[in-house]
Amino acid sequence: MSFSLAVLIPLFLVLFFNLPFYRISGKIAVFIASLFCIVQAFSFFLPVNATCPAVQNLVSYFMLDFQCDGISRLMLLTSAIVAFASILVLYAMEDSDRKQFNFVNLILLSLAGMNGLFFVRDIFSVYVFIEVIAATSYILIAINKDKNALEASFKYLVMSSVATVMMLSSIAILFLVAGGTDFVTVSNMYQQYGGNSLVTAAVVLFIVGLFIKGGVMPFHGWLPDSYLAAPAPVSVYLAGMVTKTTGIYTLIRLFYSVFGFNTAIQSILLIFASISIVLGAFAAINQNNFKRMLAYSSISQVGYIVLGFGAGTTFGVAAAIFHLFNHSVFKSLLFVNSAALEKQVNVSDMSEMGGLASKMPVTSTTSVIAFLSTAGIPPLSGFWSKLMIILALWTADLKVYAVIAILASILTMTYFLIMQKKVFFGRLKEGFENVKEAPLAITFVSILLCAITVVVGLLFPFVLNGLINSAVSF
């Protein structure tokens, strides 16, 4: 799939679904959207072909500068996997045809924004695609219109609006100094005027805006409530892809491809990443709500991605992108399992659960594998990406941060062991005697995501070379 088609096809599908003289059913929309996600995922394994002339002319008409590299293609794969998982969870949990239809439309619009963000090479266009993703996310969080969801969506809207003002202000300053907003023009300007206080202020504004979008501590206030209050399939999508795309991927893309590194920028990245890793893990330990614990775990793991990138080396970029992919998969898996518990048990407080492994063996087993990968236990995929992050920090003479990354993995193991003990181990709680395994669509997604986590870990020697080559061409 060419990179321009990755943006145009989901937009076309939304238009097709909403034709004024005929509106398709929610189930058909689910099927078509799932099929698109599968095609997008498999396009990662195909050779990169030139865009067909008609589509390329259309893209050129709108003056969008699209370029493809290995990282873009990996992100395309990741977004397809997470979107596919969230759509199947929706199919299993939501019987309303109207809600299925609305959800699929929003997911496709969000995917169009994501796919554009992965390939565009202009700072203002980056901002536009981020806002497309954010706008759909506000609606997805509040789609059920209950009080908590509306409140969480409003918090996200307020915090995201603050980030928007910062990013637009930064873009305005950069445009005034550089005379353009494409990556090459801004990069050339930054090499010449990078020490200028106005340019430095613009870069810092952009960093803070992306930290808010990515839920990096202490700019994370909106994230736990959004993950908790959102419907289960939306939580899968938010945690698996949205925050890491709008915040962390964009941070990596801009600072590796445009601004580059200096001591001040590197210190900002490393310090805030360390804060997120440690405080996010401690916050997760103290949670009783399953989804809120996963939300704080996400904040901690996002810190690992930023920490790896903060090493400032090609190997660090490869480590960060690899952990972004791994985290998208195993955190989506954990939120899928949260959806399974919500569907079958209808309880979110972990202290009220117990012994569910005997009733939900697939959910229990895949949760164990997901948390072992999150904690960095070999040979699962999370072990290799965390090891790469630690090695990137160590070889960059950032040994203190490497030690923080190692010790924080103990905290990760701690809160996930607490979760497994409260939810799945021990004696079955009274009232759960008739609980059954989750529906087939949910268990299929759990097994699929679990298989990806295991296979990527086992095939890591083959993955590493591709990661390094992708980072070099980034």
What local confidence, expressed as pLDDT, does residue 21 receive? 66
User: Which residue ranges of the chain lie beneath pLDDT 70?
Assistant: 1-4, 20-22, 46-68, 194, 466-474
| Strand ranges, E, within 83-215 | none
What local confidence, expressed as pLDDT, does residue 50 receive? 44
Pair of tokens at residue 77? 């794969």
Over the range 178-217, which residues count as b (16 or more CB within 10 Å of their CB) and which as e? beebbbebbbebbeeeeeeeebbebbebbbbbbbbbbbbb
Rounded Cα gap, residues 251 and 158, in angstroms: 21
For 392-446, how does the pLDDT look when each residue is reduced to its tens digit (9 = 90+)?
999 988 889 999 988 888 888 888 888 888 888 878 877 777 878 888 888 999 9
For 94-106, how does the pLDDT look when each residue is reduced to its tens digit (9 = 90+)?
777 788 888 999 9
What local confidence, expressed as pLDDT, does residue 109 receive? 92
Q: Any bridge partners for residue 182, and if so which?
A: 122
Q: How many residues does the chain have?
A: 474
Q: What is the pTM of this model?
A: 0.89
Over the range 289-319, which residues count as b (16 or more CB within 10 Å of their CB) and which as e? bbbbbbbbbbbbbbbbbbbbbbbbbbbbbbb
Amino acid at 134: A
What local confidence, expressed as pLDDT, does residue 84 receive? 93
Rounded Cα gap, residues 111 and 226, in angstroms: 19
Residue carrying structure tokens 């910062």: 166
Contact indicator for 43, 31 with CB cutoff of 8 Å: no
What local confidence, expressed as pLDDT, does residue 411 receive? 85
What local confidence, expressed as pLDDT, does residue 58 receive? 40
What local confidence, expressed as pLDDT, does residue 178 receive? 83
